[in-house]
């Protein structure tokens, strides 16, 4: 598989040259000159509509980006990912999260564990024994289930989360709880993460008697005293693990049928990713347009704007997914890359964000590519979402207005349109970003599935702790 530098690809040089011709092109003119632009630069597939007509890109840009993907060996890499071959070369592992939602095509241990997750969730939801579930985990062992419970929980069971080593976090999760009626799910792939172990110990000190665990370190979880230990596997990365038993707290919040609907939505995207040609493949387009914005239009950050209060935690989830995966400075061959990799991802729920940082989006000195998500939940919400994308793209050049009231426009964005915040749609959305991250890793020649950058701080903190400073 291709592990040369992307800058050695013919398409990279062609894109650099092509970018020059975009310096003077304004999105307002593109739309004025081509009334079919919105239609041409949209793809409806896998249960959503992806409208990238407000990106500063044209047919030639897409063709060159598709060539780049081809020259980087994307088809071979994609097939290796989806077959569960080793794509995480620093840890010699597959990254086979797609197997977790493959239904009838899933390996037996996956189906068996999913069956256990659903049975336990059903028991816990229908039983009277536990009034509260508290998920103790951090990073990928927290952000996914937390997002799902917050966005899609139906209130049958109270599900809370504690991730921070700051005791205030656990204290908050335990407010009003009783040890007898509280079940803790300790989620840690390694079962060594300081924050999670500290919170699990603090829960015991509080009087907790009921623990389940999700871990690939089954022995350690048993020794800790978990009554049920559900497995995780080496071939699933933490930030890609929400579909596994890591999602148990989410399954408790959603119910087993809706948890399955989440997996089915993701599976639909997996098939689309596997089969659609690059120029009609939504996650491939997301990735390639991201590369275009980052490497050729020099955008250093990107903003995600779900127009949904239920999805207010989406930016935090995507931050880990993108920045822990692609925040890398050496390539697969160990060479320092000479080009930008993951941009800083940030965001918030719309419309709240409009009254906070959109000022910078519209009139700041840097263009921040935006992903807008409209779920058709409410007329006002959708109108605002589309209005913001239009204002960024077209701006206003009314000469009667003073400079401080001018909007330059020409700021790129994509608009994702889903029907409702449903489990299937949230599954689709997360799977889209997972594949986007992978494709960008392929283009940038980096391993998206390790995270060595987090280790030094952990070691230093232990050293500082042991010295008692």
Residue 144 near ligand F6P by CB under 6 A: no
Nearer to ligand F6P, 282 or 314 (CB): 314
Q: Taking the complex as a whole, how short is the minimal distance between the CB of residue 211 and ligand F6P, in angstroms? A: 15
Nearer to ligand F6P, 134 or 282 (CB): 134
Residue 140 near ligand F6P by CB under 6 A: yes
Q: Taking the complex as a whole, how short is the minimal distance between the CB of residue 467 and ligand F6P, in angstroms? A: 22
Residue 135 near ligand F6P by CB under 6 A: no
CA atoms within 13 A on the CB side of 406: 9
Q: How far is CA 83 from the centre of its chain?
A: 21
Catalytic entry in 268, 324, 349, 434:
324
Residue 238 near ligand F6P by CB under 6 A: yes
Nearer to ligand F6P, 141 or 348 (CB): 141
The one segment of 185-193, 247-255, 279-287, 305-313 that binds ligand F6P by CB under 6 A:
185-193
Nearer to ligand F6P, 221 or 252 (CB): 221
The 3-state secondary structure of the chain reads CCCCCHHHCHHHHHHHHHHHCCCCCCHHHHHHHCCCHHHHCEEEECCEEEECCCCCCCHHHHHHHHHHHHHCCHHHHHHHHHHCCEEECCCCEECCHHHHHCHHHCCHHHHHHHHHHHHHHHHHHHCCCCCEEEEECCHHHCHHHHHHHHHHCCCCCEEEEECCCCHHHHHHHHCCCCHHHEEEEEECCCCCCHHHHHHHHHHHHHCCCEEEEEECCHHHHHHHCCCEEEECCCCCCHHHCCCCHHHHHHHHHHCHHHHHHHHHHHHHHHHHHHHCCHHHCHHHHHHHHHHHHHHHCCCCEEEEEECCCCCCCHHHHHHHHHHHHHCCCECCCCCECCCCCCCEEEECCCCHHHHCCHHHHHHCCCCCCEEEEECCCCHHHHHHHHHHHHHHHHCECCCCCCHHHCECCCCCEEEEECCCCCHHHHHHHHHHHHHHHHHHHHHHCCCCCCCHHHHHHHHHHHHHHHHCC
Q: Taking the complex as a whole, how short is the minimal distance between the CB of residue 196 and ligand F6P, in angstroms? A: 5
Could you confirm whether 355 is annotated as catalytic? yes
Catalytic entry in 92, 128, 336, 355:
355
Q: Taking the complex as a whole, how short is the minimal distance between the CB of residue 137 and ligand F6P, in angstroms? A: 6
Q: Taking the complex as a whole, how short is the minimal distance between the CB of residue 464 and ligand F6P, in angstroms? A: 17
Tell me the two tokens of residue 328: 């890398």
Nearer to ligand F6P, 130 or 240 (CB): 240
Residue 139 near ligand F6P by CB under 6 A: yes
- Distance, CA of 114 to CA of 256 (rounded, Å): 10
Q: Which of 55, 98, 196, 341 binds ligand F6P (CB under 6 A)?
A: 196
Q: Which of 93, 189, 428, 435 binds ligand F6P (CB under 6 A)?
A: 189
Q: Which of 239, 272, 328, 436 binds ligand F6P (CB under 6 A)?
A: 239
Residue 388 · residue 347 · CB < 8 Å: no
The one segment of 64-72, 136-144, 269-277, 422-430 that binds ligand F6P by CB under 6 A:
136-144
Residue 454 near ligand F6P by CB under 6 A: yes
Residue 244 near ligand F6P by CB under 6 A: no
Contacts (CB under 6 A) with ligand F6P, residues 23-62: none
Torsion sign across C-alpha atoms 7, 9, 14, 18 = negative
**Sequence-distant (≥ 6) Cβ neighbours of residue 378 within 8 angstroms:** none
Q: Taking the complex as a whole, how short is the minimal distance between the CB of residue 434 and ligand F6P, in angstroms? A: 14
Q: Taking the complex as a whole, how short is the minimal distance between the CB of residue 329 and ligand F6P, in angstroms? A: 17
Question: In whole angstroms, how far apart are CA 360 and each of 103, 356, 385, 406, 407?
Answer: 44, 9, 16, 13, 11
Could you confirm whether 458 is annotated as catalytic? yes
The one segment of 11-19, 119-127, 184-192, 347-355 that binds ligand F6P by CB under 6 A:
184-192
Nearer to ligand F6P, 193 or 448 (CB): 193
Could you confirm whether 324 is annotated as catalytic? yes
Site string for ligand F6P, 308-327 (x = CB under 6 A): ----------------x---
Q: Taking the complex as a whole, how short is the minimal distance between the CB of residue 95 and ligand F6P, in angstroms? A: 12
Q: Taking the complex as a whole, how short is the minimal distance between the CB of residue 215 and ligand F6P, in angstroms? A: 8
Q: Which of 14, 111, 164, 190 binds ligand F6P (CB under 6 A)?
A: 190
Residue 352 near ligand F6P by CB under 6 A: no
Question: Which residues form the interface with ligand F6P (CB under 6 A)?
Answer: 138-141, 188-190, 193, 196, 238-239, 324, 451, 454
Residues with active-site annotation: 324, 355, 458
């Amino acid at each position: 598989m291709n592990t040369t530098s992307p800058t050695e690809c013919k398409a990279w040089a062609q894109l650099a040259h092509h970018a020059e011709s975009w310096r003077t092109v304004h999105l307002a003119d593109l739309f004025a000159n081509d009334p079919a632009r919105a239609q041409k630069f949209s793809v409806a597939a896998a249960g959503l509509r992806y409208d990238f007509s407000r990106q500063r890109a044209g047919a030639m840009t897409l063709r060159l980006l598709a060539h780049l993907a081809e020259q980087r060996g994307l088809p071979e890499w994609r097939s290796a990912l989806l077959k569960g071959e080793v794509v995480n070369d620093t840890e010699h592992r597959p990254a086979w999260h797609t197997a977790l939602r493959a239904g009838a095509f899933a390996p037996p241990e996956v189906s068996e564990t999913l069956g256990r997750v659903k049975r336990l969730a059903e028991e816990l939801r229908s039983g009277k024994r536990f009034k509260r579930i508290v998920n103790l985990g951090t990073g990928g062992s927290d952000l996914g289930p937390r997002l799902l419970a917050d966005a899609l929980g139906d209130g049958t069971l109270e599900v809370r989360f504690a991730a921070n080593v700051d005791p205030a976090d656990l204290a908050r999760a335990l407010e009003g709880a009783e040890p007898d009626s509280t079940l803790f799910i300790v989620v840690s792939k390694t079962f060594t993460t300081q924050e999670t172990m500290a919170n699990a110990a603090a829960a015991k000190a509080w009087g907790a008697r009921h623990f389940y665990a999700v871990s690939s370190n089954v022995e350690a979880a048993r020794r800790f005293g978990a009554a049920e230990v559900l497995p995780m596997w080496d071939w699933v990365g933490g930030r890609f693990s929400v579909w596994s038993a890591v999602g148990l707290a989410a399954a408790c919040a959603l119910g087993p049928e809706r948890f399955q609907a989440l997996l089915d939505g993701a599976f639909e995207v997996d098939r689309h990713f596997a089969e659609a040609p690059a120029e009609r493949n939504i996650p491939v387009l997301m990735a390639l347009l991201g590369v275009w914005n980052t490497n050729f239009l020099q955008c250093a950050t990107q903003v995600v704007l779900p127009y949904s209060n239920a999805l207010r935690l989406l930016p935090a989830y995507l931050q880990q997914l993108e920045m822990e995966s692609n925040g890398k400075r050496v390539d697969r061959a160990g060479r320092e890359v000479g080009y930008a990799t993951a941009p800083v991802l940030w965001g918030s729920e719309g419309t709240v964000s409009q009254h906070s940082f959109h000022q910078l989006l519209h009139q700041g000195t840097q263009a921040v590519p935006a992903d807008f998500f409209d779920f058709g939940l409410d007329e006002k919400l959708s109108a605002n979402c589309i209005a913001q994308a239009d204002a960024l793209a077209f701006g206003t050049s009314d000469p009667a207005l003073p400079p401080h009231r001018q909007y330059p426009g020409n700021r790129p964005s994509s608009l994702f349109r889903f029907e409702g915040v449903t489990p299937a749609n949230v599954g689709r959305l997360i799977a889209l970003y997972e594949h986007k991250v992978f494709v960008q890793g392929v283009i940038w020649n980096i391993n998206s599935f390790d995270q060595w950058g987090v280790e030094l701080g952990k070691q230093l903190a232990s050293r500082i702790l042991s010295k008692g400073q």
